Structure 1
Amino acid sequence: MNRRQFFKQAGLAGMGAASSAALAAPALAQENPKLSWRMTSSFPKSLDIIYGAAEDIARSVSEATDGAFQIQVFAAGEIIPALEAADAVAAGTVEMAHSCSYYYIGKDPTFALGTAIPFGLNARMTNAWFTAGGGNELMNEFFAGYNLHALPAGNTGAQMGGWYRKEIKTIEDLKGLKMRVAGLAGQIMSKVGVTPQQIAGSDVYPALEKGALDATEFVGPYDDLRLSFYKVAPYYYYPAWWEGGPAVHAFFNLERFNELPDNYKRILTDACAAANARMLARYDASNAEALRQLVANGTQLRAFSSDILDVCHKAAKETYAELSASNKAFKKIFDHQQAFKEDAYLWTQIAEYTFDTYQMIQQRQGTL
């Protein structure tokens, strides 16, 4: 082969490689389009664990797409009011929200089943129901009617029963109480005499301080310490029988989500799953020390009596029967979740509960 033939063949090979690159580039661009979305949160930046899950999602998506898919996160109130986040997503004002489904029960009580209902699932059961028990499919079938698609993107674990300006010794002590409480818990509380209020977290402290509220529930020791509720309501009750394992969701505008390439849908799904696990882990790692600090600051820990729990449990069952009789969507999902819960507790009490009970006894005896 002479020199001229060598360079001619090399040139043809180079043209072939260039042509292949030219053909490949548009395909790659199509698979990884440049996108810029906005996600509004229902939580303030000061609640770094629950708000931070939204930032975790945005960061994971950016890193997984080499920066092609950017999600800008806004705290509650920056562009959308806290309790209108999912509404803004459904309307297409923003593409995403990080919020709790039960904030929207004014539209339909079925929304409560997406977060937590009184005497419902604990955190592990919630994650199992959504991930492996068919819950996510059922909820998205319902959400689609509101132009929404959702993925679990956080869980706080069992919450505390809230802060009270006076002791709650009997069911009579709840009557007439003005309490900030979200979801179906408010409806059930009203059956036992409480006047429920649903207001954003940032407005709770001044309302307690001024006496506009007599009590509030929020999350647990870590967040409650940061919000300083102990300064205006000294009695801290447990457990939040209305939130045994509440899920937080990433809500997507259904049309915008469906337009995404399949790889972007998978990246979002994985990012939300990671944020979901991380939030629960961070709360589990942080609540014990926060509880110590609250008690050191004078917080009075109290457990709800069995009598109070029994009355509230009865009121919850009555409420679910009423809703199931009048709302087909609620009944369908509630019945499915209840059947899952019965099986889950059949198993949990055998191994998990027995192991944890023994360990807790050792902890109290100082022999752990």
Structure 2
Amino acid sequence: MNQTYKSTRRKFLRNTLTAAAAVPVLAQTSCTSSSQKQPQAPYINFNSTFRWKMVTTWPPNFPILGEGCNKFAQWVKEMSGGRMEIIVYGGGELVPALEVFDAVSNGAIELGHGAAYYWSGKIPAAQFFATVPFGMNAQQTNAWLLSGGGLELWQETYAPFNLLPFAAGNTGMQMGGWFNKEINTAQDIQGLKMRIPGIGGKVFNRAGGTSVLVAGGEIYTNLERGVIDATEWIGPFHDYQMGFYNVARYYYYPGWQEPGTALELFANKEKFETLPSDLQAIITTCIQRLSMWTFSQSELMNSLYAHKLKVEEKVDFRKFPDEVLAVFRRYSEEIVNEMTNKDTASHKAYASYKKFQDQFNDYAQYNEKIYYSSFHPNV
């Protein structure tokens, strides 16, 4: 009985192993048949290494914005196992801050980081991918860019310049700016020189002021010396770091000109497309991580430093009068209409933006709008 059992068990194991050994052969035969050939995965040379440069519009190591670029470079290096190294340069270290676009476009540099409205002189439509006065907030802008077709339009707009843009963060709702003059009526805007970019700058001009575009590192000196009378920058955290409370008396809100400003990271399109597919995926994934980190960090630090400015530095926070905001809004609508009537790309971008905003506004009455007005009336 025992001998019979052993003989049967040996026979079972022998047959099982023979059948198992045949499986790979059958599978290989099936996969290589002429009618069912499987596509080959793209070849990845894991011995290839890449060393890229990235230039930014921000001062070197600028908190959150420049800091985020440094983190992005580190994440890419870690995820690629050292195959991809990105060296980050602040504005002016390798190229002037406002020449970042051209440096990446012509291939001298591989990557750039900034805000799309800096390039409005080259591409009027670019402004719509950064922010629109009285437009969408950060989460709405991100939803439009990433899920509502905005990013595809952005890439289409930059394609003639050999650039591939990505949404790379958002500063959130900004402040209205620092002024050395009280703004009680729209007449008080007359003759003021203010550092304010994008469509907001055009609105300020139409209201009787003069908009000036200067790099971040030059704003404090210009304000201190009276070259400009006012400036907007980002929000309480960055404004504190820049020391504006030492050279300006009034801190106005809300940031009608930038209710949710998207930041950008763009690559030289030709060079990006020559990267192995895994490195392309690593870069785009790290950009998404950068986007979330930047917005989250901005929200945290702005809440802390608004309190610090008000309580410790005794800054005079002022709300823009409703009359002034109404004038800004009217001029904003006029200017956007003029832009979209003149420029096909602007018309296309803003049509998509406005459609998404209207849809979101309709939905907001059932959630956040009623939530804040009913349960947080002071927010």
Length-normalised TM-score, structure 2: 0.86
Among candidates 194, 218, 222, match of residue 209 of structure 2: 194
Q: How does 1:7-46 map to 2 (within 5 A)?
A: 30=45, 33-45=48-60
Partner of 1:334: 350
CA deviations on 1:133-187 (whole Å, 9 max, x unpaired) are 1100011001001111111111100100000001111110011100000111111
Where do residues 149-298 of structure 1 align in structure 2 (5 Å cutoff)?
Answer: 149-295=164-310, 296-298=312-314
**Aligned residue number for residue 57 of structure 1:** 72
Deviation of 1:298 (Å) = 2.4
SS of the aligned residue for 1:30 comes to: coil
Is this contact kept in 1: 2:58–2:65, CA < 8 A? yes
Deviation of the 1:355 alpha carbon: 2.0
Q: Counterpart amino acid of 1:158? A: M
The partner residue of 1:309 within 325, 349, 353 is 325
Distance in 1 (alpha carbons) for counterparts of 2:135 and 2:369 = 17
Q: Let me know the Cα RMSD of the aligned residues.
A: 1.5
Confirm or deny that 1:47 pairs with 2:62: yes
Would the aligned equivalents of 2:61 and 2:90 in 1 still touch at CA under 8 Å? no
Give the match for residue 140 of structure 2. Answer: 125
Residue in 1 that maps onto 2:363: 347
Higher mean C-alpha displacement, 191-200 vs 28-37: 28-37
Partner residue of 2:84 out of 22, 45, 69 = 69
1:145 matched to 2:145? The reply is no
CA distance in 1, matches of 2:358, 2:342: 23
SS at match of 2:45: helix
Query: Aligned partners of 1:67 and 1:142: how far apart in 2?
Result: 33
Q: Match for residue 12 of structure 1?
A: none
Shift of 1:45: 3.4
Residue 303 of structure 1: CA displacement?
A: 0.8
* Contact kept in structure 2, 1:164 and 1:216, CA below 8 Å: yes
SS at the partner of 1:298? coil
When Rg is computed on C-alpha atoms for both structures, the one with the higher figure is: 2
The CA deviation at 1:350 is: 1.6
| Aligned sequence identity (%) | 35
Per-residue CA deviations over 1:287-340 (Å, capped at 9, x if unaligned) read 122112211212110111111111111111111111111100100111110000
Question: What is the TM-score of this pair, normalised by structure 1?
Answer: 0.89
Structure 2: which amino acid aligns with 1:117?
Answer: V
1:27-68 per-position Cα deviation (integer Å, ceiling 9, x unaligned):
875256310000011111353111112112111111111010
1:106 paired to 2:132? no
What letter corresponds to residue 312 of structure 1 in structure 2? F
Structure 2 portions without partners, runs of 5+:
1-41
Compute the displacement of 1:348 (Å).
Answer: 1.9
Q: Distance in 1 between matches of 2:228 and 2:241?
A: 19
CA shift digits 1:5-28 (9 cap, x unpaired): xxxxxxxxxxxxxxxxxxxxxx87
Deviations along 1:168-207, one digit per CA (max 9) or x if unpaired, are 1111001110000011111111111110000011101111
Structure 1 residue 120, shift from structure 2 partner: 1.6
Cα distance in 1 for partners of 2:80, 2:47 equals: 7
CA–CA distance in structure 1, aligned partners of residues 374 and 245 of structure 2: 32
Count of residues paired in the alignment: 337
For 2:290, what is the secondary structure of its paired residue? helix
Distance 1:139 1:182 in 2: 19
* Aligned residue identity for 2:282: I
The 8 Å contact of residues 116 and 247 in structure 1, kept in 2 or not, is answered as: yes
The 2-side partners of 1:357 and 1:278 are apart by: 29
Separation in 2, partners of 1:267, 1:358: 44
Q: 1: CA distance between counterparts of 2:82 and 2:288?
A: 20
The match for 1:135 is 150
Q: Give per-residue Cα distances to partners, 1:231-264, cap 9 Å, x unaligned.
A: 1111001111111111111110111112122222
Residues 186 and 207, structure 2, Cα contact 8 Å, conserved in 1: yes
